[in-house]
Chain A
Amino acid sequence: MVFEGCPGSHTLDLREKETRETTPTEKVRSQLRQWPIQLHLISPTAPYYQGADVLLTADCVAYALGNFHTDYLKGKSIAIACPKLDEGQDVYVEKIKSWLEDAKINTLSVLIMQVPCCMGLVNLAQQAAERSKRKVPIKSIIVGIQGDILSEEWV
C-alpha cells in the first residue's frame, strides 16, 4: 500500500466488517457523568474532576472503540480534543496543568488514535505535566482504526 499525503486522513474502507460483529441484545448505558466535555468548554476545576481518574480523549476515539463507555469511560471524568485541528492549544496545556494542580486529579489517561498526528495530544499532556508542580501517573492508550487497543503504557 502506498500512502500519499497525511496518513491521518488517508482513506480506508472498512465496510466489510460492519455486519460481522454481533449487536448487543441489551441497550448499552451511557457512562457519561458530566457536561460539557470539549476541552475548550470545560472548567478544569469542575467538581467532577476533583480527585478523579480523568480521560483525555482524541475526538475520533469514541467512534473507533466499540466498548468505549464500559471499558474506558466508566467511573471516569472526561475531556475531548483534537490535537490536529483545534486552535488555541496553549489553553489546553494550561487546563491540563490545572487538572493536576488545582483539581488534584488522581490519574490521567490519554486515549489517541494510531495516526501519527494524534501523538500531539500525549505531548500536550506531557508539557502540562512538566510545568506542573504536582505529578500524577499518565497513561497513553493507542487505539487502532479498527477499534483494537494497540498499546497501553505509562508515560
Chain B
Amino acid sequence: MDEYLNMEVKEVISKFPEAARVLDEYNIGCTVCNAGSCLLKDIVEIHSLSSDEEQELMAKLARVVYPGRDVKVLEVGRKPKAKPERVKYSPPLKKLVDEHLLIKRWIALIPKLAESLDVNTEEGRQLVLQGVDFIRTYADRYHHAKEEEVLFKYFDENLEILKTMHADHEKARSHVRSILQAVEEKNGEAVKEHLNAYRELLTEHIKKEDEILYPWMDRGLSLTQVGELFSRFNELEEQFQTVPEKYEEFIRKLEEKFR
C-alpha cells in the first residue's frame, strides 16, 4: 500500500477508478480537482478524518488496489454525512472567506456577461475591461496577495496542496492575460472562452479553500499566529483603503444591470 500512499491522487484514480468512489464517500472531492497532485497520504491528513475513519478508508482503498486479497475493513458505523458541518473559521481566515463571497458574486455574473458580450462596441469592450479590473485589483492584488504573501508563508510551501493553490492563481492570471489580448483583437469567442474557464477555475478553487485548505490551516495555526495574521491582514487592508467598497459597488451595479 505504501507505494500508492506516495503517489499523486490523480494517478491512483486513473489506475483504479473505483478509488474515486471510495474517496467521494468521505466527501474528499479529489476526483473533480483539476490538479490532483496531492499525495494520497496527505489527503487523509488534510481532510481531518478521525483515526477510525482513516483506517476504514485505507482498508477500503486497499481492497480497490489489491482486489481478491483478504483486507479487513474496519467498520466504525460511520453515518453518511448529511451536510458538512458549518465551519467556524478563525477571524483572519473568516476575512478571506468573506472576500470569496464578493468574488463568487462576480463569478455568478459571468454567464450573463458572456451572453450579452459585444467586443465590437466600445461599451462592450469597456465592460470586459472593468471585469478584468475587478479580477486584477480585488481578486488578485487584494485577495490573492493576502494568501500568497502572508497566509501561505506560515506553511511549508512545498506541500502539494499549496503548490496547487499557487498554480490555480497563476492559471487565473493567464486567463486574464488571454482575455485582454482577445479584447484587443476584438475576438469575442476567445473572450468568452477565457471568461468561462476563469469562472470554472475559481469556482472550484474557492470551494477547495473554504472547505479543505482553510479548515486544515486553522487546525495548524497557533493562537499567536492567528493574532499575527489578523493584524497583518488589517495592515494590508489599510493600504488598499477604499478598494473593497469600490468593487462591491461595481458588483452591485453589474447585478442590477443583469437582473
Q: Which residues of A contact B (CB under 8 A)?
A: 53, 75, 104-107, 109, 134-139, 153-154
Contact = CB atoms under 8 A, between A and B. Distances in A.
B82 interface: no
Given A137-B91, A153-B88, A107 B234 contact: no
A136 B224 CA distance: 11
A106 B231 contact: yes
Contact of B92 (A105, A137, A138, A153): A137
A75 B94 CA distance: 25
A37 B167 CA distance: 50
A49 B191 CA distance: 55
Contacts of A109: 223
Contacts of A153: 88
A41 to B, nearest CB: 25
A136 B231 contact: yes
18 contacts: A53-B223, A53-B227, A75-B224, A104-B231, A105-B227, A106-B224, A107-B223, A107-B226, A107-B227, A135-B91, A136-B227, A136-B230, A136-B231, A137-B90, A137-B226, A137-B230, A138-B91, A139-B223
B88 A106 contact: no
B228 interface: yes
Contacts of B223: 53, 107, 109, 139
A64 to B, nearest CB: 21
Interface centre among A107, A134, A135, A139 (most CB of B within 10 A): A107
Nearest to B234: A135
A105 B226 CA distance: 12
A109 B223 CA distance: 9
A99 to B, nearest CB: 12
A107 B89 CA distance: 15
